[in-house]
Homo-oligomer: A and B are copies of this chain.
Amino acid sequence: MTRRQITGFSNPTVKFLRSLREKKHRKAAGKFLAEGLRLLTDALECGHVPEMLVMSTTRDPHPLLDQLERAVVGAGGDVIETSADILSKITGKSNPQGVAGVFGEFDTSLASLDRNSAQIWLVAQELRDPGNLGTMLRTGDAVGAGGLILIDDCADPFSVEAVRASMGAIFTQHVARATWDEFLPWLRSGSGQLVAASLRDAVPYRGAPYTAPCFIMVGNESQGLPEDYEAACDLRVTMPMRGRADSLNAAVAGAVLAYEVLDSLGS
């Protein structure tokens, strides 16, 4: 197989790859980066072949890497070999895992979702931390959710940090982005129960009357959900708070609720 060797930091391909660490460049190119053999193998098994594969000259040989390389070449993609140093500059991580891939961004329209394909959907409003976003994708994968719907101004699901924290779930979960004014009419145009953790007018989260498809919504890390978003929910639930705090980390709250809903729906 032919591999292109790149040795210079100023090479245009290296510049392009590094630019994908910034949201505006990802958006302009419609592409994102994912790193690590395990994650790229997960992607491949889910039918996502990287358009470009970047390998470090110091990588460990591995049959899965050979398989990945064959898939990329077979799909007409590029395979690039470069130094560990350049690869770590590309991914912004000091210990790169020896391999990274470039993927085309997915369709993130609400129209791309089939709400009846899963019993659980996660919804996040103004979630700003890419680590929390990736963690929610990972939790969604674990509970068999259909995907994650990002409301209003959230972190970018295609950032290197979010992709990394998702541990591959970016390739198994659907992701949609919408404003609240787009989301609510879409939700009400079909079946779906909107649920949020709340301190107002709420029932205990254990044993609450969840129904599928259940949309579990969490709010911004600092502000929580706006009051009118909570009011629009079909079900508001409370979780025990035995200490001084009145809230949980957003990704944690979403996960505790999602596991409760999973148990409740008996799926």
Residue from A142, A167, A255 with most neighbouring chain B CB atoms (10 Å): A142
- Shortest Cβ distance from A199 into chain B, in angstroms? 13
Q: Decide yes or no: A244 and B139 within 8 Å by CB, A165-B249, A251-B249 being known contacts.
A: no
A243 and B206 contact, Cβ closer than 8 Å, known pairs A248-B142, A252-B255: no
Chain B residues whose CB sits within 8 angstroms of the CB of A249 once the complex forms = 135, 138-139, 165, 251, 255
Contact with B along A35-52 (1 / 0, CB 8 A): 000000010011000000
B259 to A239, Cβ gap below 8 A? yes
Count of residues in A whose CB is under 8 Å from the partner chain: 36
**A140 / chain B contacts, CB cutoff of 8 Å:** 243
A149, chain B: closest CB distance, angstroms = 17
Contacts of A248 in B (CB 8 A): 138-139, 142, 255
Task: For A96, list chain B residues within 8 Å (CB).
Answer: none
**Which of A135, A144, A240, A252 counts the most chain B CB atoms within 10 A?**
A252
CB distance from A20 to the nearest CB of B (A): 23
The winner among A45, A140, A167, A249 for most chain B CB atoms within 10 A is A249
- A168 on interface, CB distance cutoff 8 Å: yes
- B141 adjacent to A252 (CB under 8 Å): no
Q: State the CA gap A149–B205 with chains docked (Å).
A: 28
- What residue in chain B is nearest A119 (Cβ atoms)? B242
* A45 CA / B244 CA spacing, docked (Å): 10
A172 on the B face (CB < 8 A): yes
A176-B256 Cα distance, complex, nearest whole Å: 25
Question: Is A1 located at the chain interface by the 8 A CB criterion?
Answer: no
Which residue of chain B is the closest to A267 with respect to CB atoms?
B242
Expressed in whole angstroms, the Cα–Cα distance for A251 and B267 within the complex equals 24
Q: Given the known A-B contacts A142-B240, A239-B259, A252-B255, are A245 and B135 also in contact in the complex, defined by CB atoms under 8 Å?
A: no
12 contacts between A and B (CB under 8 A): A139-B248, A139-B252, A141-B245, A142-B243, A143-B243, A165-B249, A172-B243, A251-B252, A252-B252, A255-B255, A255-B256, A256-B259
